Structure 1
Amino acid sequence: MTTQTFTWVPTVAGSSGDAMLLVRKAQFGDGYAQRAPDGLNNRSSSYNLTFIGDATKISAIMAFLDARAGGEAFYWTPLLRPQSLFTCEKYSEPTKDGNVYTMTAQFDQTFDTTSAT
């Protein structure tokens, strides 16, 4: 089975992301600190995304995420970044306003290629 790609586009409003840079730090007594990147993949990203659409669109997004059960990675392309592997362990149940549904999802970057089948 090949790794699937998440193709739905989140809304810009209500979406945000964070970059985490892992650093090893040695603090010395005179106030001096020495820092170095920790590991090959010391930068990872996490995104809180908002999706708005009709029942068909939101149902398809939930089905895609449910099929991966939080453990299987998928490809997704963040803004201004290259396509990468992500997992989604958490998303909100949709809310409805007329015929429009809204949901949020948290995408966490992963480097574990074994979860990408």
Structure 2
Amino acid sequence: MKTFTYDIGIQATGSTDNDVVIVQFGDGYAQRQSKGLAPRLEHWQASKVGSKATIDEVKAFLDAHTVTPFLWRVTSDEPLRKYIAKDISRSPQGGAKWTLSWTMQQVLA
């Protein structure tokens, strides 16, 4: 399994999805239960600015990992986790600079 090693800077934003089953009763009472073995998975909105060659290289990596997961860690002191790439887009910023934006969705397998 390949590891995502590109610098994405500090502008990445992470969120956690909590997969919970809720049974709501008519009197306002609700029961909640975690769904599955890993009910909390992260996803990260990320972007990178660089030359067209750099952006093309990162995009090729992400395009190759929309189904097959890759390893990535948020910070150097956190464990590697499995992610897939989603919602990949790129745009020219003028001159020789391009921006690449994508979502990294945590997966278990």
- Class of the TM-score when normalised by the shorter of the 2 chains: 0.7 to 0.9
1:78 to 69, 74, 93: 74
For 1:23 and 1:81, the matched residues in 2 are separated by 25
Letter in 2 for 1:57: T
1:38-92 Cα distance to aligned partner (Å, 9 max, x none): 1111011111111112233212101212333x11110111247532111113210
Secondary structure in structure 2 of the residue aligned to 1:72: coil
Q: CA deviation at 1:32?
A: 1.4
Q: Sequence identity, in percent?
A: 29
Q: CA deviation at 1:18?
A: 1.7
Match of 1:10 in 2: 8
TM-score for the superposition, normalised by structure 1? 0.79
Secondary structure in structure 2 of the residue aligned to 1:9: coil
The answer to whether the 8 A contact 2:24-2:30 is kept is: yes
For 1:83 and 1:44, the matched residues in 2 are separated by 14
Letter in 2 for 1:49: A
Q: CA deviation at 1:98?
A: 2.0
For 1:37 and 1:82, the matched residues in 2 are separated by 23
